Amino acid sequence: MVSLIGAVQAQEIVPRPARMERGAGEFALTPATRIFASGGALAEASMLRDYLRPATGFDLPIVADNAANAANAIRLKLDPKLSALGKEGYRLVSDARGVTISAADTAGLFYGAQTLRQMLPADIYRKAKVQRSWTLAAVKIEDQPRFGWRGSHLDTARHFMPKTFLLKHLELLAQNKMNVFHWHLTDDQGWRIEIKRYPLLTQVGAWRSETQLTPRPGDPPGLRYDGQPHGGFYTQDDIREVVAYAAARHITVVPEIEMPGHARAAIAAYSELGNNPDKKLSVGRDWGVIPEVFNAEESTVRFLQQVLDEVLVLFPSQYIHVGGDECPKIEWAHSPAALARMKQLKLVSASTTLQDLQDYRDAQGKPAEHPALHQLQSWIIGQMDGYLTQHGRRLLGWDEILEGGLAPGATVMSWRGEEGGLKAASAGHDVVMTPERDTYFDYYQADPSSPGFREPLGARQVTTLQRVYAYEPVPARLSPALAHHVLGSQAQLWTEYMPDSRHVEYMAWPRLLAMAENLWTPKALKDYPQFQQRLAPALQRLDAQDVNYRPADGPRWPR
C-alpha cells in the first residue's frame, strides 16, 4: 500500500495513518447496516454502535454470524495473524459493501473504530440526530503507533477540575489515539484524592483560602490574591469511575502523588509530616516552589506508603508517579532529625554538623546544596521504589530523581530538557520525554509582545502548534541501540493560570492534535503543511463536541 498526501478528501484522519490507499466508490451507512462481531470483539462493537447511534439515529444490530458476503455491514474481527501490527495496530478496509476492521487485540479494534468515525462527516460526533447522509470513502488502511506512550498530563491540584470535564478530556484523547492520562492529584496548593485512612488530607488539604493572581503590566508591585476560597477533591468512587471510563477507551490512568517536595497541602493536614511539626501551616496559596517538604522520618515514609496502599487499589496502572521534582532542601539542612538520618544512612560523616550542610560550596566556590541532601531525597524515593516493586508496580518520577542516584526500578520523565532522559537511558532506564520547551501547554501559543495580542495568560515563553508538531521525542544524541528506552511523550497541562476547564481546552487544543500525530505517525510521514490541511476537519470535530480550542488562524479570547 502507498501513503497518500491530500488525495483523500472524505477522511482527513488525525493522527495520519501509517499506510493508506484510496479505493473506488464509497460506503453508505443506513438503518439497515449491521455490525458483525463475536467473542472478544463484542465490547468494541457495542461501543462503536453507541458512538454511531446519537447523530445517525440508527440502532445498528450486532450480529454474531459473520456472513462473509453480507452487504451493508461493518465487521470487527480479532485476527492473530495481524500480531506484527502490535496490540494497538489495525487494518481497515472499506468499499461499497461495507467496512472491515481487523486487529490482533481489542485496542487495535478500538483505534480502527476511531478512524472509521473520522472518515464520516464531523456531525457524527453530535449527541442528537442530524438529518443527512452518512458516507465514507473506500480505502485500505494498515496502521500502528510509533510510540507506546502517547499521553496527556493534567494538573488538578492547582485548580480543581470537575469529573465531567475529565471524562470529556478522556474521550477526546481516545478519539485521537492517545493512551495515557497522567493525573496530577496532589501538590502544595491542594490534595485532591480521598484517602480513607487519612481523612484530613481532603478535609483540610483540599481547600485553600485564596489564590495568587499574577501581576500584569501596570499592576502595583507585589503579590495579589483573589480573596476567594478554592478547593475540591475526588472521592474514591469518582476515581473508580474515571479509571473505568478510561480503560473502556484503552487509556491508562497514571496517578501522581508528589513527594518529598510539593507537600505543603499534606503537611497542613498532618503537621507531623513536616520538618517543623509545631508550626501550623495552611494549604499553599502561592505558585512556584514552596519550601516546606516532607521530613525523612520512618513514620513519614510509612505514612506515604499507606497512602499508596489505597492508590494501588484504585489505579491498576503499572506506573505510579511520585513526583520527586523541585524539592528544596533548606529545611533538611536546618533539621537535626534530617542530619541524624543522614548519619544513620552514612551519607555524611559522624562529625558533620548542620553548619557544614548550610555552608557547603561547589567546586567553583559558589553556595550549593550538599550532595548528602540529594542522597537523602534519593533514599526516600528508593523506599518508594522498593515498595512499588514489591507490589508489582514501577516507580515514575520527574528527572530530579536522578540527583543523588537513581532507584533501581525507576522510570524517568525528562522535563528539564533532554539531559535527564539521555542520562537515564544510558543507564538502562526507560524514559518518557517531556521537555518543557516543547511539551508544556501552559506556555503561550503566540508572542505576548506581538501587536493586538489577545491570548489568555501563559506561564512563560511561546510554544506554537508548529513547534509541538516538529518535536522529536528520540534525541539525536541518543545511541540508536538505546532508542527503545524512549517510551514516548506527553503534553503537560499545568493549571496555575488555568482556573477552569474552558481555559484548559483553549491551551490544550489543537496542540494536542499535533502531539497525537507526533506520537502515532511514522516519522517519515510527518508533514506540517499537510497536517494543516487535515486540521480543518479535525477542528470541525471539536466544534461538534463544544471544545473551546484555539482557532488555527488566531485567538478566540476572551471566551
Question: Kindly report the CA angle at 299 between 296 and 304, in degrees rounded to 5?
Answer: 80
Q: What pLDDT is stored for residue 369 in this prediction?
A: 96
C-beta of residue 187 within 8 angstroms of C-beta of residue 262: yes
Give the percent of the chain with pLDDT over 90: 90
Cell of 247: 480503560
Lowest mean pLDDT among 259-263, 290-294, 405-409: 405-409
C-alpha to C-alpha distance for 230 and 226, rounded to whole angstroms: 10
Task: Render pLDDT for 195-252 as a digit per residue (tens, 0 to 9).
Answer: 999 999 999 999 999 999 876 555 666 778 999 999 999 999 999 999 999 999 999 9
The pLDDT mean for the chain works out to: 95
Q: Does 356 have pLDDT greater than 90? A: yes
Residue 443, C-alpha cell as written in the block: 506556555
Q: How far apart are CA 329 and CA 551, in angstroms?
A: 43
Residues 362-398 pLDDT 10s: 999 999 999 999 999 999 999 999 999 999 999 999 9
| Confidence check: pLDDT of 120 > 60 | yes
pLDDT score recorded for residue 296:
98
| pLDDT tens readout for residues 318-328 | 999 999 999 99
CA distance 58 to 74: 13
Q: What is the pLDDT of residues 249-280, one digit of tens each?
A: 999 999 999 999 999 999 999 999 999 999 99
pLDDT at 8 over 80: no
Report, as an integer, the average pLDDT of 459-481: 96
Q: Looking at residue 496, what is its pLDDT?
A: 95
Poorest-confidence range of 64-73, 471-480, 497-506? 64-73
Query: pLDDT tens-digit profile of 506-546?
Result: 999 999 999 999 999 999 999 999 999 999 999 999 999 99
Q: Where are the alpha helices (DSSP H) in 249-297?
A: 264-269
pLDDT for 411 equals 98
Catalytic residues: 187, 262, 326
User: 445: alpha, beta or left, given left = phi > 0 and alpha = psi -120 to 50?
Assistant: alpha
pLDDT at residue 139 in the model: 97
Mean pLDDT across the stretch 327-337?
98
Q: How far is CA 530 from CA 420, 514, 534, in A?
A: 33, 12, 7
Q: Give the pLDDT of residue 175.
A: 98
Q: What are phi and psi of 174, to 5 degrees?
A: -65, -40
pLDDT at 4 over 60: no
Residue 43 and residue 189: Cα distance in Å, rounded?
40
Nearest to 457 by CA among 248, 116, 216: 216
CA angle 547, 549, 550 (to 5 degrees): 165
- The residue-averaged pLDDT of 427-439 equals 97
Q: Is this structure's pTM higher than 0.75?
A: yes
pLDDT in tens, 32-74: 999 999 999 999 999 999 999 999 999 999 998 766 678 999 9
Query: How far, in Å, CA of 147 to CA of 164, rounded?
Result: 29
Q: Residue 167 pLDDT more than 50?
A: yes
CA angle 423, 342, 284 (to 5 degrees): 75
